[in-house]
Chains A and B, each alone.
Chain A
Amino acid sequence: MTLAIEHVLVTSAAMLTVGMIGLLVRRNAIIMFMAVELVLNAANLNLIGFSRFLPDPIGQVFVVFVIVIAAAEVAVGLAIVLALYRNRDTVMVDEASTMKW
């Protein structure tokens, strides 16, 4: 058995599903944040996989940009979570409900 594009796709689809479920089910901001990163990495895996099997180098170029952007996103996201934590002493999003409707 050799590695085929289907294996990559199934793995990335699994990562995407975990990410989506994580975002919907978990209420801890940090974990939801990790779920979002998981979605990005699922897409990265796809890009690398297609880049390998097409073959075409652009997918890898794309991934480099995505990785850098994801790092910037981590910085911004953690700053926002930290600001929330300082004001409320919690990172649970369902307790952050000043506004409704």
Chain B
Amino acid sequence: MIHKTFPRGGGEIPHRKEGSERKAIQAVPAPSIVVIPLHQHIGAPCVPVVQAGDKVKIGQRIGEAKQFVCAPVHASVSGEVIAVEERPLLTGKKVLSVVIRNDGQDELVKMEAGDPAKMSPQAIRQVVKDAGIVGMGGAGFPTHIKVTPPKPVEVIIINGAECEPYLTCDHRLLLEQAEEMVGGLLAIMKATGATQGVIGIEVNKPDAIERVEEVIKEHKELSVAALKVKYPQGAEKQLIKAILGTEVPSGGLPCDACCCVFNVHTAIAVYDALTSGKPSYERVVTVSGGSVVDPRNLLVRIGTPIQTLLDFCGGLLGQPAALVGGGPMTGPPVVDLLGPVVKNLSGVLALSHEEAAFDENRPCIRCARCVDACPMGLTPNLLGEYSDKGLYDKADKLNVNDCIECALCSYVCPSKRALVTWIIKGKAGLAAQRAKEKVS
């Protein structure tokens, strides 16, 4: 059997999923205090609709979306709001957050539930919006916008590639909640008017492929794409190329290629919101890495401190070299252990000194491994150099903005150069320079 993949670049990186891939999802008891940031997505922050002293229930809306690119935020425990103030995310960045003391009653408020098959596309979109669902694979883009494509969409792709090492939450969800995922996919297809659904799964998860194929047997419009294990197979553009053979135009959106991509967990969240009126207030997080005593997949309330997750997994083995929020290729470093779990946090990793590696910025020997590896066909050695030196126009000429920031260039570099870090800075620098040029 030929496994689908994108043709250009990419690379083999270690999987390191053994620690948690066979461990069923386990719920972490809600902590005594949760800190729920009002900005957990791409776009504008929410506006708080509660204040200190208010009583809230699980699922109650505590942050309102006042703008289009925004998603509302809900309480994840029942109890009393003790503060609405700036609190650090795990990256250390401070964001206006609602702090709730858990009363342990677990009182729920639910949205109206229904049968998605009987709902109108408009009604489905409204529920997705009210539930505050955002892309749970990592991007955190508000899902209600994606289910309202500006042009016709034919195919909905569910991203079950999970190409980042260590992470296994999507794998476990595919095994344990395949029906819900398919239900979410069908609802998304209805909302967008798409006629075809494809679930892309890397072949290092054969049990997940088997399970999903079993569930979609009755659905002629659905199929599973067995994907070659190659990083970054789960990057949106590479996934589309692998499954449909088409490319998203530079600077465009997936709908420009007649498709739209949703993460496994996002599809399940859509299903839960529609069928049981459950807004986005909890998610599954993989806690793994060589410095974690007992790696697991945890169902966690949004707002739970990272520290609680690590403690639940038996704590740390000595000093880890790095703590990461998300996957090791693209996740940011954890700066604050009290930083809360947010809607798009797929993993918490504690990497040992044997596993983690850092920039050394030795001289480039022009071996071009980064050029060979770049899944976008860019020249990261040059982009990195130009970006680092502030030569943004030169970087622009080499299409720096087409970089998807998968970090494979930095990974393969034998001189351990901070290529992707420079390129990300270069993109920001270029944007700032263009804005300045517009003003003057």
A binds B: no
Q: Which residues of B come within 8 Å of A, CB atoms?
A: none
* Residues of A participating in the B interface, judged by any CB pair closer than 8 Å: none
